Amino acid sequence: MNKKVLLISATVGVVGFLGAFATGWLTRPAPVMGSSSPTGTAEAGMDQPPSNAPRQILTASPATPGEGSNTRAMTEEQLKELIYEVREKIQEYNTKLRNLEKGEERLLIAQQTLKKDIEALNNLRVDLAATVANLKSERDMLLRARVEVEEAEKGNLVAIAAAYDKMDPIRASEILTNMAVGQSQGGGARSANIDDAVKILHYMQERTKARVLAELVTTEPGLAALLCQKLKQVTEGS
């Protein structure tokens, strides 16, 4: 806005100056042609002939033809040049004004685009933070659901699984059910350890494991599905 004010002030000043110059040029008084000087008048009085001599009529010499028209033509040419210069200044001002307006429009568009980009980045950051939080939650859930076999207990589990392989599948399924679901001990609370049941099933032979799971499907279908799901989460520690 300061640039606009400066351009308008400069243009108004130039136009006012040129107008004042043209007005002064056109309205200045023209020189009087043929006027006699005081000295000439005095001399004429001193050399004046006698009263009886015939009077001589003094007339001013006519102006040179074409001198006034040349002066007027020069004035018109100068006025035309002044008008042309004023028009050029106005056109230059309008061009600069349009360029400033276009620059302001481009700046406004750039600001709006930048604002939208900042909002999009903020939304993306929020979404990214939510995704990272979900990934951490899922990782924690997987870690909690994982059934890890320690190296120290691996030998015992292999021996227990071998014993279950020799059992009747019905009896083996009953023991695993009580181990996973829990049973009362001396009238106290029920104790359950489904991870131990999963570890034993993990080390059992495939044929025996299939028979035990088939018996569980008949008696405890929900438990059988859960054991199958947790068998995929067994990992052996190093």
pLDDT of residue 112: 92
pLDDT of residue 143: 59
Beta pairing partners, 147: 234
Q: Tell me: the pLDDT tens digits for 171-188? A: 988 888 888 887 544 444
pLDDT of residue 116: 92
163 vs 160: CA distance, rounded Å:
5
pLDDT of residue 114: 93
pLDDT of residue 21: 63
Classify burial at 180, counting beta carbons within 10 Å of its beta carbon; exposed 0-12, middle 13-18, buried 19 or more.
buried
pLDDT of residue 15: 64
User: Phi and psi of 70, rounded to 5°?
Assistant: -65, -40
Read off the pTM: 0.39
Q: How many angstroms separate the Cα of 181 from the Cα of each of 50, 129, 173, 190, 195?
A: 165, 39, 12, 8, 11
pLDDT of residue 51: 45
The tens-digit pLDDT sequence of the chain (238 residues) is 555 666 666 666 666 666 666 566 556 554 444 444 444 443 444 444 444 444 443 344 444 555 556 666 668 888 888 888 888 888 888 898 889 888 888 999 999 999 999 999 999 999 998 888 888 877 776 656 667 777 778 888 899 999 999 999 889 888 888 888 875 444 444 445 888 888 888 889 999 899 999 988 888 888 888 888 888 888 876 5
